[in-house]
Amino acid sequence: MEKRILSGMKPSGELNIGGYGGALSQFVAMQEKADCYFFIPDLHAVTVWQDPRELRERSMEIAALYLAAGIDPKRSAVFFQSQVPAHAELGWLMETQTAVGELGRMTQYKEKADGRESVSSALFTYPAYMAADILLYQATHVPVGDDQKQHLELARNLAVRFNSRFKKNLFTIPEPIIAGIGSRIMGLDDPSKKMSKSNPNRSSSILLMDEPDDIRRKFAKAVTDSEGVVRCDWDRKPGISSLLEIYSVFSGMTIGDIESRYQGVGYGSFKEDLAEAVIAKLEPLQRSYREIAGSEELDRVLKDGALRAAEAAAATLKAVKEAMGFVV
Ligand code: AMP
Ligand code: TRP
């Protein structure tokens, strides 16, 4: 069977190197080998409050970053979720197949809802819609960061359930692709929490659009430990382990090679070289972003992507509706 890949990054804040390591860098690497759909899940961003002007800006930013990072719109469809109505429609139908108990077990929901006075019902039902995003395109593989594992498991369960309740083999069962290195990049201020777009502390993340001096300053301040040995040990040295992972993603070196290179060398020069490795990768990406952002070409790519996606999605949606007994 031909490989078909689908994934996306929510336009809910400025993209950081966590999303780059866990998702975006994988997208680019995979497009050679598969039929790809890379979308911007804007309908999912609004499960929590988004300022309308910012949502529009962020959505265009992510689209431009996809292309700047190397996604080739000739090979891959790049589009906004909200421009392909089949996502919302299949999302509703998948919700009818999902138990409240399953959604209540989602750790991301629990984390996001924790401490909030009120949360939208969409934040709760969102994983059923994420399953729809994937199943709509009969995706065989879904590259995501570690935090999406549980959502992917639900998508697989829903596909199996639907196939057995209504029609065998209607949905392809998607496989997650979780990068060995880069799938779990932690906050620079607190290595027990993932680097996150929603963290208000700007020093906790390296943003893809950060200036070189900001990158150097943020790494210099990153939390480590007092042992002074550059060694990967997630239990005892989560700060250094996460920095090693970032170094590996951005340099292409293995963790072992990096550990050997910094034997007997303090954290200071390790962090300086790490910053330079990240800057070397981000500078060309930022240059290319400036050329693409706001261009007519980008608008054309998104329009074309939405058409291609809608066409692929329509076939699945029709089959689902028929299988469920709707008059089509
Ligand atoms: P989001 O920006 O939350 O929509 O996430 C987009 C993709 O990036 C998802 O596949 C996430 O799993 C991945 N991702 C987000 N933050 C990180 C992180 N700190 N480390 C690795 N992957 C991440
Ligand atoms: N839930 C993903 C995140 O928070 C974003 C997303 C939405 C997604 N739909 C998807 C990722 C489908 C992969 C496939 O990061």
Which residue's CA is the closest to the ligand 2 atom numbered 14?
Answer: 7
Would you state the pLDDT for residue 1? 62
**Would you report the helix, strand and coil content of the chain in percent, each value rounded to 5?**
55, 10, 35
Q: Which ligand is nearest to the CA of 182?
A: 1
Ligand 1 contact via 82 beta carbon (within 6 Å)? no
Distances (CA, A) of 159 to 130, 291, 314: 12, 41, 17
CA of 263 to the centre of ligand 2 (A): 39
- Give the closest ligand to the alpha carbon of residue 130: 2
Q: Which atom of ligand 1 is nearest to the CA of 143?
A: 10
Instruction: Give the DSSP per-residue string, 123-136.
Output: HHHHHHHHHHHHHT
The pLDDT confidence band at residue 85, using thresholds 50, 70 and 90, is very high
- Round to whole Å and give the CA distance between 173 and 312: 17
Domain with CATH 1.10.240.10 in the chain: 202-290
CATH superfamily of 202-290: Tyrosyl-Transfer RNA Synthetase (1.10.240.10)
Question: For position 197, what pLDDT does the model report?
Answer: 87
Question: What average pLDDT is seen over the chain?
Answer: 96
Measuring from atom 18 of ligand 1, which residue has the nearest CA? 18
CB distance 313 to 85 below 8 Å: no
Q: Residue 326 above 80 pLDDT?
A: yes
pLDDT one-digit tens code per residue, 244-283: 999 999 999 999 999 999 999 989 999 999 999 999 999 9
CA of 223 to the centre of ligand 1 (A): 21
The CATH number, out of the four listed (3.40.50.620, 1.10.630.10, 1.10.260.40, 2.130.10.10), of the domain defined by the range 4-183+295-324? 3.40.50.620
pLDDT value at residue 200: 86
Ligand 2 lined by 36 (C-beta under 6 Å)? no
**Alpha-carbon span 276 to 278, nearest angstrom:** 5
Q: Which residue, judged by its Cα, is nearest atom 10 of ligand 2?
A: 130
CB 151 near ligand 1, within 6 Å: no
CATH 3.40.50.620 maps onto the chain at 4-183+295-324
Residues sharing a CB contact under 8 Å with residue 186, sequence separation 6 or more, in sequence order: 192, 193, 194, 195, 238, 239, 242
List active site positions. Answer: 112, 194, 197
User: Distance from CA of residue 6 to its chain's centroid?
Assistant: 11
Measured in Å, residue 293 CA sits from the centre of ligand 1 at 22
Counting from 1 in the atom list of ligand 1, the atom nearest the Cα of 15 is: 2
pLDDT beyond 80 at 215: yes
Cα 328 to Cα 238: distance, rounded to the nearest angstrom: 54
- Ligand 2 atom closest to 6 (CA): 14
